[in-house]
Amino acid sequence: MGKVYLIGAGPGAADLITVRGARLLGMADVVLHDALVEPAMLDYAPSHARRIAVGKRCGQLSTAQQFINKQIVDAALEHDVVVRLKGGDPMLFGRADEEMRALEAAGIEYEVVPGITAALASAASLKRSLTLRGVSRSVALATHSRAADTEAIREQVNADSLVFYMGRDSGPEIAQQLIDAGRDGATPVAIVEACSTPRERMLTLTLSELACGEAQQWLDASQPSLLMIGEAFAARQQVVRSADGLLVAA
């Protein structure tokens, strides 16, 4: 019986996987990978390693989670090193708990290797801090997506900085709910698409503009995107030296 490694592949770019993740991927006999994992990431795996796509994409047909669980268990019964390569970090919106439960039920040893989640990488690309002294003391990572067999949960997120995963098609609805709950329509919004990859794009607008659907035509339905809301994502004032030598805000 082999060992399974649930590895976070990071936000996209192949060189943003952790050193440990890349090392273990290089030892794999089997790699079960998400749809959002960049093809270049799989080059870390040995040439003999079997690569199995088990990805899930919003709005598209995808592998059922129970079948993914079974594939992981079956692979561990036949091979020494099995890698379950998950986009971002395994423990955030990655359904890792279901896979860990399946492995525990089968008596299979496993290890979780964290990865850089898209919220952190997107903040880096935007050059905007998720927390900002005097502006943002709290951050909430949320998703508007839910399982088809569960009831909708309408909750007010009170964090200063909000980051919504899997919210591309629900942007106007999310924005209107926040406005109805008291958020200022002028609140800055940033959308980061295909973060850290050569396809990365960014759009900035306001909460009111998002609610009106102004971002929907800009978005590429084939690319993952992240919705970031809060004053921390406003344009940063730059301090420059004037002609008389004084420092002023531009």
Q: Which of 29, 34, 86, 89 is catalytic?
A: 34
**Catalytic residue check, 89:** no
Query: Is 70 assigned a catalytic role?
Result: no
Residue with tokens 């019964």: 77
Instruction: Report whether 215 contacts 192 (CB < 8 A).
Output: no
Among residues 15, 29, 56, 244, which one is catalytic? 56
Return phi, psi of residue 133, to 5°.
Answer: -55, 130
Q: Kindly list the catalytic residues.
A: 34, 56
